[in-house]
Amino acid sequence: MPCIWKPRGEKTAPPDAARLADELEVSELIVEILANRGLSGAEEMDRFLSPLLRHMAPPSEIPGLTDGAETLARGLAEGRTLCVWGDYDVDGITATALVKEFFALHGMDVRHHLPNRMEEGYGLNVPHIEKLHSEGVNMLLTVDCGISDMEAVARARELGMIVVVSDHHLPGETLPDADAVCDPRLGEEGPYADLAGVGVALLLMAALNPLLPGEPVDWRPLLDLVALGTIADVVSLTGQNRILVKNGLLLIKDARRPGMAALKVVSDYERQAELGAGQIGFNIAPRINAAGRMGDPEKALNLLLAKDFDTAMPIAEELNAINLERRRQEQEIADEAMQQAESMRQRAGLVLYGDHWHPGIIGIVASRVVERFYRPTLLLCAPEASGGLLKGSGRSISEFNLYEGLQAVGDLLEGFGGHKQAAGLTVSPDNLEALRRRFHDHVVETLGPEPLTPTLKLDHELGFANINNTLLKELELLQPYGMGNPEPVFATKPVKVVEYATFGREREHVKIVLEDPETGTRLSGKAWRSAKTLTREAYGRTMRFAFTPKIDRFRGIPKIDLRIRDWIF
C-alpha cells in the first residue's frame, strides 16, 4: 500500500549539533536522528546510545512490587508450596522460565502451570486452581496474567492460598482480591509503564532477592529471557525496556543458555551470531510462540530450561516443525481472510470470520490484514472448546485505539481485553452481523468516512555518497529497533533504476540497482513482497526511494544493501 512521506520530527538540526556530535563521538546525522526522536542534550543522548543497567529506575517505582516481594518472602518463610502460573505466549513462557530459574539459583524448586490454549484459554481458571490446591499448592504467583481474573483469584484465596498477581496488562476498574497486586500500569504512569510481563517478573525477583535466605544471586544471566519475551510482546523498546533488551541481546549473542543456542541453530543462525530485535521477533520468537499457539507451551518452557545442548536440540527441532505447520495454516487462513477483506473494502473496520480458523493463529493473520488494508481488523473463529461462542483476535492501526473501540461495542461482546493495538474478544454467533455493523460505524465515527493512508516517517534525505560502513556502524548504536524506536528510514534524491530482477519461490521479491546521477554511485536494494507493485516498468526510470541501508553478509561477503520501503515515480 503506498504511503504518505513525512519527516519523523518537526525540528531542524540542533544548533549545537556539531558540539554534541563531537562529545558523543558520532556524526551530526546521528545527533539529528536522536533529536527528531525527542532526545535532547548530551546526557540523554548518551544514555540512549549506551543504555547501562545502572541507568535503571528504582524497581520500587512499579506499583505493588515491594508489597509483592515481601508477601512472597513471608509465604516462603512459612514453608508454603509456591506455583508460578504463566501465559502460553512468549512473554508468559519466558517469565515462567525466569522465575523458575531464579528460584533454582537459590536452591529452591517451584512448581508451574502454563494453560493449554485450546482447553483452558487465557489467564487463570477455577478448575485448575482447585487441582493445584488438592496437590498441596498453597501459594500462587501469576506472571503476565491475573489482573482481570477476579473469580479464580477469589477461589484461590477461599482455599487458603496466598496470591501475588504480577502482570503488565491494563487493569480494569476492579482489581482481583489478591494478597498483593504488582502491575506497572496501576496508578499514574511511571518509568516502567511499558514493561512486558517478563520484565515485571524480573524486577519482582530482583526485589525478592535480598529477602530470601543466603546470599543474593546474580540475576543478570536471566536478561536473555527478558529480551526474548519483551521483543516478542511488541512493547515499546524505549526507556527501561531499551536497557533490559540491549543487555539481554548481548547474552543471546553469547548463547550460553543451551535452549537459546539450539533455537539459533534451527533458525539457520550461527550459535554465536549477533541478532537484532527484528531477527528475534521474526525468527526466534515464533518458534517459542508456536508451541503455545498450537496447544502445548510446556515444550517451549522445557527448551528454555534445558541443561545442555544435546537435551535442547531435539526440542528445538520439534518446535521448528510445529512452527512450519503453524506457518502452513497461517497462509491458508490468510488467503481466506484476504478474500473476505477484499469483498468488504467499503467497511472502515473489518470483522472477518471462519469457523474452522485456528484460534492460535488468527492474531497473526489479523496483523497481515491490517498491513495490507490499513484498517482496524477483528478475526473470529469457532473453536470447539469455546462453548458455542466465537473467539476473536484484533489488530489496529496507529490512529485507532482498539481497546476503546471494543468498549464502544462492549454490549455485544461476552468479554474482551487488550490494549491500543491488539486485543482479544469473545462474542455470541447471534451478534456477529451486529458486531460487523457497529464496529464499522464506530471506526467511521472516530476516523471519518474516508480510508486512511499509512504514513511513512523519514529521518533524513541521504545521498549515496554518504552511505558507507562508518555510517552503518553508527546506525547500529540506535538498536534495538522496535515499537517506540523504529528503524531509521531515509529518502534518496532522484536516482535511476539501472537493473531490475525478481526473485523468490514465486518471484514475489524485487532486486534493483540504483544509480545516483550526480556521483555515478551505484547501490543495490531489495523490495520484499513487492513484485506486484514495483513492476518492471520501473527499469530505466528516474525515481525516489525510501530505504534503510544495511550490511548484507550473504555468502560471507559484507556489502552495502538497501532495504526498499517505498517509492515515488
422 and 524, same domain (yes or no): no
**CA end-to-end distance (rounded Å), the chain:** 14
Q: Determine, yes or no, domain membership for 45.
A: no
The rounded distance, in Å, linking the Cα atoms of 14 and 6 is: 19
Does 194 lie in the same domain as 276?
A: yes
For the record, the C-alpha cell of 65 comes out as 512490587
pLDDT at site 138? 97
Domain shared by 461 and 442, yes or no: no
Query: What pLDDT score does 552 carry?
Result: 79
Distances 162 to 80, 133, 200 between C-alpha atoms, Å = 9, 11, 19
Question: Is residue 17 situated within a structural domain?
Answer: no
Which of 260, 437, 416, 262 shows the shortest CA–CA distance to 348?
A: 437
d(C-alpha 373, C-alpha 338), whole Å: 9
Residue 327 forms part of a structural domain = no
Q: Print the domain residue range for 351.
A: 344-447
Residues 193 and 312 in one domain: yes
Q: For residue 213, what is its C-alpha cell?
A: 535466605
Q: Are 420 and 466 in contact (CB under 8 A)?
A: no
Asked if 292 and 300 count as a contact pair (C-beta separation under 8 A), the reply is yes
Same domain, 315 and 383: no
Is residue 93 a part of any domain in this protein?
Answer: yes
CB 248 within 8 A of CB 208: no
CB atoms within 10 A of CB 88: 30
- Preceding peptide of 7 cis, ω within 30°: no
Tell me, yes or no, whether 512 and 549 share the same domain: yes
* CATH number of the domain bearing residue 402: 3.10.310.30
Residue 13: inside a domain: no
DSSP state of 482: B
- Answer for the pair 123, 151: CB distance below 8 angstroms, yes or no: no
| Digit-coded pLDDT (tens) for 435-445 | 999 999 999 99
Are 264 and 374 members of one domain?
A: no
pLDDT of residue 290: 87
Residues 396 and 509 in one domain: no
Cα 543 to Cα 531: distance, rounded to the nearest angstrom:
16
pLDDT digits (tens, 9 = 90+) for 251-265: 999 999 999 999 999
Task: Select from 447, 478, 510 the last residue of a domain.
Answer: 447
From CA 174, how far away is CA 566, in angstroms rounded? 46
CATH number (domain holding residue 71):
3.90.1640.30
508/431 same-domain check = no
In a domain, 113, yes or no: yes
Name the domain boundary from 399, 426, 447.
447
Of 447, 473, 494, the domain-final residue: 447
Looking at the 3D structure of the chain, how many domains does it have? Answer: 3
Low-confidence spans in the chain with pLDDT less than 50: none
Q: Give CA–CA dist 434/487, Å, rounded.
A: 40
Is residue 273 assigned to a domain?
yes
Residues 436 and 297 in one domain: no
- Same domain for 284 and 205, yes or no, is yes
Cell 529480551 found at: 227
Q: Cα torsion for 202, 208, 213, 214, to the nearest 10°?
A: 50
Q: Are residues 249 and 120 in the same domain?
A: yes
Would you state the pLDDT for residue 117? Answer: 77
For residue 50, being part of any structural domain is answered with no
Helix, strand, coil in percent for the chain, rounding step 5: 45, 20, 40
Q: For 527, list phi and psi in degrees, rounded to 5.
A: -115, 105
87, 98 Cβ separation under 8 angstroms: no
Domain CATH code at residue 508: 2.40.50.460
